[in-house]
Chain A
Amino acid sequence: MPALAGKELRIVGFLCNWCSYGGADTAGVGRFSQPTDLRIIRVPCSGRINPLFVAKTLLSGADGVLVSGCHPRDCHYAEGNFYARRRLEVFKRFLPTMGIDPDRFEYTWVSASEGQRWQKVVTTFTEQIHKLGPAPRFGFAHEQNPATAAAC
């Protein structure tokens, strides 16, 4: 159970190593206060992010997923975020058919120097997720399978 049960939601952030992770660090060093719902996973580049990472995260019980990378044209690997943009946009548009609110997933760009922008992104996104509340869940294994439920 989370320490602040009922108050905090589970948000997972996939951040690129070169810009957004640095941006989050800058925000921390600058002592900007931020909501604490976000758990950060550092990835080499936003182009490394398979939209299925986001799908898996959402289906495994996250209430929101945030992806952040370098601004277009600023990618450390020149074009990773251009590919990421197309993939993530398609995935975001796919979410409504899955029965998941597309607002539970956002992707954005934050550079390493933009500590304040990072604070704003985290705050806005966390507020957005809190407005939506906890995500619908699949429940535990025995609830999902009527056969095993009977055996329990």
Chain B
Amino acid sequence: MTILTQLKEQITAQLPKLDMVIGWEQGYDALHATPLFMRAAEDVERLQIGPLSVHNTATYLTGLRNKKVGLVVKGCDSRAVVQLQQEGLIDRENVVVFGFPCDGVADLTKVRRLIGDVGRVEEVETTPTELRLRVDGREEQVAMSDVMADKCRRCQYPNALVHDHFAGKPREPHATSDDYTDVQEFESQSLETRFEHWKSEMSRCIRCYACRNACPMCVCRDHCIAQSRDPHWVTQDDMVREKWMFQVIHAMHLAGRCVECGECQRACPVDIPILALKRKMNKEIKEVFNYDAGVDPQAIPPLLSFQVEEENINERGW
């Protein structure tokens, strides 16, 4: 029995007790998946899992708080569930988690950079090492190793950290530790280069707030300070400074909470590499507080507690 059939059976068995189960199905073409809200047994047939199941299903949880929701999760999605539970933003008893071993997802931006904007993809065949796309009658092949999302290469939690049902056998992690070489590499450039990098990247931002809307941890919804007039943190001026300020707000608000699911960067329509900011934040949180977000539902978030004598903070004696 494949993992998918087992998963479908588990979902079908639980569905009568739930308002809905969230997973993935094929979207407007074979390459693009879209979230699937299964309410009836026939919906379960459309469920898809695999390298195209890129969305974080946990993003919908806070909006469905009073419903009984089932959730099909990858490892990173499950960390978002843990984090939401830790912060008291969801009721764990209202959520049924279906886990499966995740082999990593494809980064569709990388696919596009590799084969170009090919238009409607008719069929995708996924193997553990390859994606075979059929477009316009011809076949394109891309190696999974070339298009796998960066977050998956360094993924330490491919299996759901919390789950009520698990299909298949848990797999080995893709990596055992995260050394943040990408952050170090970025910081090896001069300050001016870094400043100019963000200035030019942010000039492409169209301020659609897709990064915020896709983020499972951005739970303020209509009360987001980026769109409030009082306090007026960000103006409506079409300026790089305002767009950049929003990214700083997003990164700061995720300090010690970000589970690095990479949804912000994936959702960005102009491909601004904003996950780098959250990576940096997580690196520092790890260094100073030795803390990983979304791993332990009982942990106390580092910025909501303190020690009278901090171990890793040097008081600056002037």
Contacts and interface: CB of A to CB of B under 8 A. Distances in A.
Interface string A136-150: 101001001111100
A68 to B, nearest CB: 10
Interface residues of A, number: 41
Contact of B306 (A52, A85, A93, A148): A85
Nearest to A106: B316
A93 B288 contact: yes
Contacts of B238: 141, 144-145, 147-148
Interface in A107-149: 107-109, 117, 120-121, 124, 136, 138, 141, 144-148
A144 B240 contact: yes
A101 B194 CA distance: 11
Contacts of B64: none
A56 B233 contact: yes
A101 B190 CA distance: 10
Given A52-B248, A106-B316, A96 B191 contact: yes
B244 interface: yes
Contacts of A146: 203
A98 interface: yes
Given A52-B252, A144-B239, A59 B245 contact: yes
Interface string B233-257: 1000111110011001101100110
Contacts of B93: none
Nearest to B199: A138
Contacts of A60: 241
A73 interface: yes
A117 B318 CA distance: 8
Say which size band chain B's interface belongs to.
Answer: 35 or more
Nearest to B240: A144
Interface string A43-58: 0000000011001100
Contacts of A138: 199, 239-241, 244
Interface in B22-39: none
12 contacts: A55-B248, A59-B244, A60-B241, A73-B308, A87-B303, A89-B288, A96-B194, A98-B248, A138-B239, A144-B203, A144-B240, A144-B241
Given A86-B303, A94-B280, 4 more contacts: A99-B198, A108-B318, A120-B318, A144-B238
